Structure 1
Amino acid sequence: MGIEAGVAGAVLGRVGASERVVACTAAARAAGVRRGQRRRDAQRLCPELVVAERDLDAEGRAFETVAAAVAELTPRVEVVRPGVCAIPARGAARFHGGEEALRITVQDAVVEAGYDCGVGIADGLFAAELAARNGGGGLIVPEEGSAEFLARFPLSVLAGAVPDWDSLADLLVRLGVGTLGEFAALPADDVAGRFGAPGVLAHRLARGREPRDVAPRAAPPDLTVVRAFDPPAARSDEVVFAAKALADTLHEGLAAEGLTCVRLGVEVEFADGGVSERLWRHEGLLSSQAVAERVRWQLSGWRPAFTGDGTEAEEAVWGGVTALLLVPDQVVPDTGVQRALWGRDGDGARGELPERVARAADRVQAMLGHGSLTRPHLTGGRGPGERVLRVPVGDMPLETRPEGPWPGALPAPAPSVVPPEPRPVAVRAADGSPVTVSARCVPSAPPAVVVMPDGSGHRVISWTGPWPAHERWWDPESSRRLARFQVLTPQGAHLLTLEQGSWLLEASYE
């Protein structure tokens, strides 16, 4: 679904376990909507907000038109991500008659291509992006003025630029730090000692500095890899398939030199003499699949819009491709990255399943069946058993529950032992009578003894609750009313549920 530039709209994508704003229009920003906000927060600030789900493929194809329009003005166009590109301004500004003339020229070129945009100029990429999002169509930050320009912004603008930002932001707010200027004023050594690597990165950005200092080094060997097509490749899927294999070769060459590529140049040569060049940035290793995806986006800008009969040409490539080149434009020492076995990497990005683990999983599923090997998938819910879905390895969950809010949800920390099915128990008061809960959620007496499924009685040292929940009240057939208690006994802590007069052991804490 497209959103017109003049409409208050936002694109939502999964960030961690929640759905957040990944892009928004100028009208939405004027209402207070910002990248990184939760959906409900954005809609609270702008009730008329039009939302659309994120489609990375569509973003890449659409943004290629913008990148091509900017490339007509200067050849060094770096695609930071679909929606944001950067160019070195110094030389281009001299050619076009100054920074303000360059800013207006770039903005006009993108508008003529059919897209609204903002253009900002600053010493660094982070400050330039914020400058583009402010001051109407963007503004120019004076040289050496990035720190002063950034000082007024809230800490929330760092969301998406700093790994594990949510926990760091929460801690800074509780310490009384509310703006980038206040954070930048803290001593760098104290920030490093207290907040670690994410804090150091955030502190550098808040001071208007790039994530890393310029470190001149001897020119690395030429690691460019080339694939020639004879005869020319007539379909884009041929080129994309070759790009994945070519990226594997590139990564082998980089690994041999102890390097990793954070900015990759992709050059596509066509049989009609045309050449498509683009720079793609990534804060870390671009996987072979990610490289192939970016090649597909780049090729989409060269496809004819329609075939002769009026149907969309999804796979046709203009003129046929004669050569594909992958050029590591910016390489840095490879310091390694600790990847999680399942789920997410340490930087919060979705990690790919390691190749050896994937092969082992495929083999087990081939022997025992597709559903024999599953992985946990966190979703929304109130009880601990409701928040975990078992999904066959290699599949996406067929359905998920929204992240929240969930009134009556179990507070943190979550229990560590959750049986497949709740088990019946008995909860008694000091006089031996069963403990019940009234319609107003008032216990008949304090819980004194819990009789466990094995028949053993455990004295209750302390307890808390109840947390009532009335689920699906609009559907009489599936409606549920229950109350949850946490109890502590000499043998451990447990989560108990009272539903329809029966007590159940839902989970335990260990």
Structure 2
Amino acid sequence: MIADRTLVFWVPDWPVHALLRDDGADGLSLDAPLALIANRLVVACSAAARGDGVRTGLREREAQTRCPELAVYPHDPETDERRFAPIAAALEQLVPGVEVVRPGLCAMRSRGPSRYYGGETPAGVAVLRLAEQLGLPDARVGIADGRFTAEQVARSASTDPGISAPAAGLRIVAPGASPAFLSPLPVSRAAEAGLAETLQGLGIRTLGALAALPEDAVRQRFGPQGLAAHRRASASGAGHGAEVRPRQPVRELSVEMSFDTPIDAADQLAFACSALAERFIGGLTEDRLVCTALRVELTDDVGAQHEREWAHPRHFTPADTIGRIRWQAASAAQQTERGGAGVTRVRITPVHTDHLAAHEPGLWSTEPDERVHHHLSRAQSRLGHTGVGTIALAGGRLLADRQRFVPWSTTRVERPHARASASGPWPGALTGPAPSRVFPELVPAALLDSSGTAVGIDADDLLTADPVHLRVAATEFDAPVAAWSPPWAVRERWWEGAPARFRVQVQLADGDAWLLVFSTGTWAAEGRYD
């Protein structure tokens, strides 16, 4: 059974493209040696990095040895999917029935586009033209019998045997010629690593050698995996059903509005976007969805964009959405480098959605929570976005560094690699019970021995004498020091010349306890245990 003619759209090094298209990628270029790392291995790299010997699967240190100028970034699969979604949507507008195999690779039946555009070559050229408009000039299109063969054709060079290249980036294998094209390829192209190693041990090293085996014998010996690899090698299709399974077109949930006259005042912009917010939330409700995080994009009359993501502890309402637009417009107006007379376009995009059923009210009344949220939101609307908030724990070593102010009804959206988690590891951090009172700024203190001499830290990171008296600010406590902990060092940013700090817990005879910090010859109080 010959597989259906399939058109495959492939973007080489898509994770690198997704990184360059993501926020915060200013200054990065596809011409620079870049690599994306996951589990200390290279997941993807740019063409410039490959020119210096970097390959996928290499260890990070080996890749940096081969290319000292290599810039490494953590790989984020969510970024790959998010940035490829508009590409797939644009392809669906051009060719209905697109299956997204993975970010950067799409498959579609070739029959419909070929009949519409008058042949496989014009259809492939139309897809490549769209890719160039989307900023992907290095995209490729492969057309052959079956999805697997079309993918291998897209990855092949234009000079490989059996390949015709009527246009730059377009590779076509004639109908019925796919088995001959696949025959010299290594068996690892169609089989998983374990199965490929077994086949190579049996002397089956090419796809042609695998396709020459009887199908029943392969199924009995190697099971479903071997049967699937045999069908790929022989370009015989999936065996049942359609090989290309198009996805259901994704409904566009983003909304936008343009203004002929620029709007400069935040309150006027929020009032003008009331209907837009209602339409945004109403569209989500029709799909039985709620939005827990959204992105607001403001564009002024000179083309400058002000983009920000907002998150909600529960889910957004139209009033919440309007409030975020007002706050973002107010912050954009305070930027001194902003140009233009005002905002001319507003776009709202859902970043994270959830099923509506998961946010239905419970059996018991939640009225007190609703009242608290209502009153705090009203106060926030009068005082501004940062006027009302809560304190959340963040990563850090000193106690004051671990406090982070979070505005009410806002959850800060951060990338997984942007900062370490609050749980650590943070060498030198306090692991035991935290002081009940933490000073926003370190309070000067003095730790004295029995003779009144200041106690310090010696070369062995130990106290120079037994502490007896403690003075914090101008208060000297009558109760002597009864117990103390060994000092533990906090050494960070030593490459910038930052001095080492030492933390000590002391307890007075009356039960009062303090957390002290020693740095550059002086003591300071960080917190107090009540």
Identify the TM-score tier after normalising by the shorter chain. Answer: 0.3 to 0.5
Normalising by structure 1, report the TM-score. Answer: 0.39
Normalising by structure 2, report the TM-score. Answer: 0.38
Indicate the structure (1 or 2) with the bigger Cα radius of gyration.
Answer: 2
